Structure 1
Amino acid sequence: MREMFRAHIEKIVSLTDDEFDIVMEHFVHKKLKRHQYAVQQGEFVDHEYFVVKGLLKSFFANADGKEHIIQFALEDWWISDYQAFVNQARATFNIDCLEESDLLSLSFGNKKKLCDKVHKMEHFFRVKTMSGYIALQQRVLSLMNDNAQTRHAHLLEHYPALFQRVPKALIASYLGVSRETLSRFGNS
């Protein structure tokens, strides 16, 4: 776990062994079971999570109970309800484990302390935030401009592992199509 997480960070910034030890002191290892929530709609959000092992989904449940999937998070990805995390507010989204998951949890306070102690981590988090923002913009533009089959092909091309690990009904929800429409695309 330590080696994987260090490699993840060092794609962006180099750390000495002492700096990495300081980084690890600010994280808490959490094991969550399948269908266990990391974040629940309406609850206060004080943590973001790095996925060491497992698979999670972020979704919004509307007043009718219909789920709208916002994000999947596989190994080596970060997830939280970032609006609530940054604003120290209540969650708009739910984050549910689709598989048993090992997570590294970072509290809002510990993130601030970590960035004060190891300034390189501020740069790391800024790069990760910008990458996430760009991905979100691309997803929004795709939803506005691409047809469902193009969105499906893009997802399959960039994240083929999702199709092996995520139920088709959830893939359909993420793409904004019915299960029946998804089955017509093939390779799903």
Structure 2
Amino acid sequence: MSLELRKHFEKITPVTDAEFDYILSHFVVKKFKKHQFLIQAGSAVPSDFFVVKGLLRAYYINEDGKEHILQFAMEDWWISDYQAYFNKTEATLNVDCLEEVEVLCLSIQNRDKLCAELHKIEHFFRRKSNAGYIALQRRILCLLNNNAKERFEQFLTQYPSLLQRLPKTLIASYLGVSRETLSRLSA
């Protein structure tokens, strides 16, 4: 598990063995079963989760009971309810497991500590946050400007491996289309 995290950090910044051992000591390993929640709306958000193995989704359920998927996360990705994580408020999102999952959990206290002590870790998280902002902006613009076919094609281009791992109902929800529309698009 630690090898995956080290490779992930070193895509942005090199770390020595001693630095990485220290970084890793701030993470907690957890395993979850399919359908188990890491975060439930209304609860505290204890961690940011680095996915070592498995597939998760972050979603919101509106007042009408309609589910809106904001994000999927697979190996080598991070997931949380960031509003609640950073602001120390109750979650508005749910994060649950679509497969058996292994994650490395980082509390906000440990993240802040690592960033204060190691400039390269602060740099790493700044770069990851920037990439997340860019991805979110692209997603919003795609939802605002593209028709269903274009959104589906962009999904296929960006996340080809997810097509095989996700039920079509979840892909449809992520794209903001009906299951029937997705079936027509993927035929």
User: Is 1:37 paired with 2:37?
Assistant: yes
The residue that corresponds to 1:134 in the other structure is 134
- Equivalent residue, structure 2, for 1:92: 92
Report what 1:16 is aligned to: 16
CA deviation string 1:139-159 (max 9, x = no partner): 000000011100100111121
> TM-score if structure 2 supplies the norm length?
0.98
Displacement after TM superposition at 1:2 (Å): 1.4
CA drift at 1:21: 0.3
**TM-score, structure 1 length as denominator?**
0.97
What's the secondary structure of 2:161's corresponding residue?
A: helix
Q: Separation in 1 of the partners of 2:178 and 2:87?
A: 34
Which residue of 1 is the match for residue 145 of structure 2?
145
| Seq. identity, % | 58
- Write the distance in 2 (CA, Å) between the matches of 1:21 and 1:74: 24
1:78 and 2:78 equivalent? yes
| Cα distance between partner residues in 2 of 1:26 and 1:133 | 25
Q: CA deviation at 1:65?
A: 1.8
The aligned amino acid for 1:137 is Q
Deviation at 1:113, TM superposition (A): 1.2
Cα deviation, residue 85, structure 1: 0.6
Aligned length: 187
Unaligned ranges ≥5, structure 1: none
Alpha-carbon offset, residue 46 of structure 1 = 2.6
1:49 pairs with 2:49: yes
CA distance in structure 2 between the partners assigned to 1:103 and 1:174 by the alignment? 23
Name whichever of 28-37 and 60-69 sits farther off.
60-69
1:168 paired with 2:168, answer yes
Consecutive unaligned residues in structure 2, runs of 5 or more: none
Partner of 1:160, secondary structure, is: coil
Counterpart of 2:59 in structure 1 is 59
The separation in 1 between residues aligned to 2:32 and 2:117, in whole angstroms, is 29
Give the CA deviation at 1:114: 1.3
Give the C-alpha shift of residue 119 in structure 1: 1.9
For 2:158 and 2:68, the matched residues in 1 are separated by 21
Show the counterpart of 1:28: 28
1:48-82 deviation line (CA, Å, top 9, x unaligned): 00000000000001122221100000100000000
For the residues of structure 2 that align with 1:13 and 1:34, how far apart are their CA atoms? 33
Alpha-carbon separation, structure 2, partners of 1:162 and 1:142: 18
SS of 1:29 mapped into structure 2: strand
User: Is residue 104 from structure 1 mapped to residue 104 from structure 2 by the alignment?
Assistant: yes
Distance 1:47 1:3 in 2: 20
Structure 2 counterpart of 1:7, which letter?
A: K
